[in-house]
């Protein structure tokens, strides 16, 4: 069984997540892009109040004890908060061909069947875009490098993050938020 990398297990608002990320030091591993996922199960309906600390601890047991993985995704984003799961400064496990080169961001919901542009899905989208903007800014990544899980050639049978998630729209929202946060800049320089 691989050595478990541990979890952070803390939740953040978009503002406190941004502060947290600016304190990190990317010495061991530096991702080249971010891969966007959805949980599919649980759905938004199955988690009417979003994710709780107990849900995160249950996910840790699932990935570590049942799957036998060394880590899980880096973030779980719901309609209330951004949960840091696997430490952002180490590689995670979320998509076979992307694990060693990308951060994995899971959004709560099944976006093949649940709305992503309205209601709770829109709130998840807003938090995900905020998290993505922070990650792209801190790492100096172009938003256009964002990939969807279904783009991983090792998992072509997946529809993740769902048909209701439109990559071009997410990239545009991330670019717009970066411009709002850093007017006049193309992208802020990556943190050392």
Q: What is the pLDDT of residues 9-39, one digit of tens each?
A: 999 999 999 999 999 999 989 999 999 999 9
In the sheet that holds 102-107, the strands lie side by side as 10-12, 82-84, 75-77, 102-107, 33-38, 147-148
pTM: 0.94
Backbone angles phi, psi at 34, to 5 degrees: -115, 135
10-181 topology per CATH: Lysozyme-like (3.40.80)
Structural tokens at position 181: 């946060």
Long-range contacts of range 21-27, CB-CB < 8 Å, 24 or more positions apart? 21/88, 21/134, 21/135, 21/138, 22/138, 22/191, 24/88, 24/89, 24/138, 24/191, 25/89, 25/191, 25/192, 26/89, 26/139, 26/191, 27/89
For 58-85, what is each residue's pLDDT tens digit?
999 999 999 999 999 999 999 999 999 9
């Amino acid at each position: 069984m691989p050595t478990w990398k541990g979890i952070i297990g803390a939740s953040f608002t978009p503002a406190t997540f941004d502060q947290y990320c600016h304190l990190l030091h990317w010495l061991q591993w530096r991702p080249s892009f971010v891969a966007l996922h959805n949980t599919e199960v649980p759905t938004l309906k199955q988690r009417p109040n979003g994710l709780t600390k107990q849900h995160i601890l249950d996910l840790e047991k699932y990935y570590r004890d049942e799957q036998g993985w060394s880590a899980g995704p880096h973030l779980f984003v719901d309609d209330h908060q951004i949960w840091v799961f696997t430490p952002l400064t180490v590689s995670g496990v979320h998509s076979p061909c992307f694990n060693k080169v990308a951060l994995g961001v899971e959004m709560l919901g099944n976006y093949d069947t649940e709305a992503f542009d309205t209601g709770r899905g829109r709130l998840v989208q807003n938090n995900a875009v905020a998290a993505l903007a922070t990650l792209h800014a801190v790492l100096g990544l172009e938003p256009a490098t964002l990939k969807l899980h279904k783009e991983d050639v090792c998992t072509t049978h997946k529809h993740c993050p769902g048909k209701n998630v439109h990559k071009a729209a997410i990239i545009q929202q991330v670019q717009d938020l970066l411009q709002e946060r850093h007017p006049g800049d193309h992208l802020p320089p990556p943190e050392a």
